[in-house]
Amino acid sequence: MVTVCLLAPQLLGGALPWTAVLIAILAMVGAGVVALNVTLPKEGALLAVFVAVAFTCFQVLPFPSWVVSWVSPQRAVALEATYELLGSSDWLAFSLDPGGTRLALLHSVTIASGVIVGYASVERIGRHGVARVVGASVALMTAITLVHKLAGSDAVFGIYVPIEAGRSAAPLMNPNHLGGFLAFGVPIQLFLARRSRDAERLGWLCAALTGAVIVPLTGSRSGMVGLGIGLLLFAILTRKELKAKGWRTGLVGVAIVGVVTAIALDPAVLVGKLERGDYTKLSLAV
């Protein structure tokens, strides 16, 4: 799990074909290793994941054209016109975009393998151990992203320059993916700080604070909303301890420092995106 969680996110988020294949291989090898050594629990989530993978696989399997016509006549007409250009329309796949569906199948297998690794890891090292690995993965992404921003680099690892406009110079080049990943990790790191002591607690707190600062810098509105929701849920779930230990003021301070620092470091990116951005897609989360 350590290899999958720490290395996979650094492979450009699977944006390039070879990185997607390499991430899938890492996840599948990890799933194979743990499946041979750990008895997986009979969970409904595992079954749901396998059903989703099977359904995606079903979309790219070839069927006789009469089967596709019987299931979806309109789809069969569209597919036959395409397949005739390729020289044969006797066997058809249900997908209107076989290439995209094959890539989705690769992603589905990767996710399923990751779920298997996650469940097996819970059996071996417990939920707290899994949280530590996930927190470390987000902390590594935070550190690498911070180095790129401080260096003013336009190339990921100084090698690959994103070709699409609006991409981040970070291993997760999509700003929404990067902001969401970091926002997901901040509450976990705060939880780990709450359960740790001395130097380790300081380390998790620094990681959480840095992540909270970088999320607004990504310009991802969904990332900022996710960070706010995550911090709110953390405060609610730990309200008794926060009140007893005076953490409430500390959390408010972290939020204020994060927002002020983000605006001070790069106001054009943050304020510009907030003023010009389209918020209609946020209705999907309501």
- Residues with Cβ within 8 Å of 146's Cβ and at least 6 positions away in sequence, in order, are 210, 214
What does the pLDDT read at residue 262?
55
* 98/270: higher pLDDT: 98
Contact 10, 171 (CB under 8 A): yes
State in Å, rounded, how far the first CA of the chain is from the last one.
33
Selected residue with higher pLDDT from 3 and 214: 214
Quick: pLDDT tens for 46-97. 777 788 788 878 777 777 777 777 877 777 777 766 666 666 666 777 777 7
Containing 57, the helix (H) or strand (E) segment is helix 44-60
Its pTM stands at: 0.71
Mean pLDDT of the chain: 75
pLDDT at 274 over 80: no
pLDDT exceeds 70 at position 118? yes
Q: Which residue has the higher pLDDT, 246 or 116?
A: 116
